[in-house]
Chain A
Amino acid sequence: MNEKPSLWWIDWRISRGPIVRESIGRFLFFCLLGFALLSLLLSGGVSRILAGRYAVTAVLRAEVPSGEGEGLARKAAALPPVRSATYQDPEAAWKEFLRAYPGLDPLRGTGENPLPGYIEIRIRPDRLTVKDVELVATALRAVPQVERVLAGEDWLPRLLLAGRLASWACWGVFGAFLAGFFLVGRLQERARAVALAGDFAFLAERGVSAGRLAFHRASGAALSGFLLAAVGTAAGGGVLFFSLRKYPILERVIGSPTDLLLPQTIASAVLFSIGAALLSGAASLLGWRAARPGRK
Chain B
Amino acid sequence: MTRGTRRILSALLAASVSLCVLFPASAPAARDIAAELRKERGRLLEMKAREEKTAQELTEAIRKEKQSKGRVGELQERLKRQKNLLSRIDRKVSALNDRLERAEKDVRELEAAHGQARTDLQRAEVVAFTVQKAEAGIPLHPSARERERHFMRLYLEADAEGIARITRARERKVEELSGLERQVAVTERKMAREKKVGDKLLSRQEEERRRLSGIEREKKRKEKELKSLRAKIARMESVISRVERQVKERERRARKAAGGKATAPRQFASLSGGLSAPLSGKVVSRFGRQHDTTFDVTIENRGVEIEAASGASVKSVGQGEVAFAGAVSGFGNVLIVQHGGGLFSVYGRLEAFLVKQGEAVKKGSVVGRLPGSPSGKSVLYLELRAGGTAIDPTSVIPLDR
Which of A's residues lie within 8 Å of B, judged by CB? Answer: 53-57, 59, 93, 97, 100-101, 103-104, 107-108, 111-112, 114-116, 118, 120, 148, 150, 152, 155, 159
- CB of B124 within 8 A of CB of A104, answer yes
- CB of B127 within 8 A of CB of A101, answer yes
Contacts A101-B152, A114-B157, A115-B151 supplied; 17 other A-B pairs, CB < 8 Å: A53-B140, A53-B142, A57-B147, A59-B150, A97-B148, A97-B151, A101-B124, A101-B127, A103-B123, A104-B155, A114-B154, A115-B154, A116-B154, A120-B147, A150-B143, A150-B146, A150-B150
Which of B's residues lie within 8 Å of A, judged by CB? Answer: 120, 123-124, 126-128, 130-131, 140-144, 146-148, 150-152, 154-155, 157-159, 162
| Interchain Cβ contacts under 8 Å between A and B, 7 examples | A57-B147, A59-B147, A100-B148, A101-B127, A103-B123, A114-B158, A150-B143
- CB of B120 within 8 A of CB of A108, answer yes
Q: With the chains together, A92 CA to B128 CA distance in Å?
A: 19
- CB of B120 within 8 A of CB of A107, answer yes
- CB of A53 within 8 A of CB of B124, answer no
* CB contact between A107 and one of B123, B130, B151 (< 8 Å): that residue: B123
Q: With the chains together, A100 CA to B148 CA distance in Å?
A: 7
- Tell me which residues across on chain A come within 8 A of B141, comparing CB atoms: 53
Nearest Cβ in chain A — how far from B157, in angstroms? 8
Given A53-B141, A103-B123, A103-B130, do A97 and B155 touch, yes or no (CB 8 Å)? yes
Chain A's closest residue to B152 (CB) is A101
Nearest Cβ in chain B — how far from A174, in angstroms? 24
- CB of A57 within 8 A of CB of B143, answer yes
Chain B's closest residue to A159 (CB) is B142
Q: With the chains together, A115 CA to B152 CA distance in Å?
A: 9
Q: With the chains together, A23 CA to B162 CA distance in Å?
A: 76
Chain A's closest residue to B161 (CB) is A114
Q: With the chains together, A53 CA to B51 CA distance in Å?
A: 129
Q: With the chains together, A97 CA to B141 CA distance in Å?
A: 14
Q: With the chains together, A56 CA to B144 CA distance in Å?
A: 9
- Tell me which residues across on chain A come within 8 A of B128, comparing CB atoms: 101
Q: With the chains together, A42 CA to B124 CA distance in Å?
A: 43
Q: With the chains together, A142 CA to B147 CA distance in Å?
A: 20
- CB of A114 within 8 A of CB of B146, answer no
- CB of A103 within 8 A of CB of B143, answer no
Chain B's closest residue to A154 (CB) is B146
Chain B's closest residue to A156 (CB) is B142
Which 3 residue pairs spanning A and B have beta carbons closest together? Answer: A114-B158, A103-B127, A55-B143
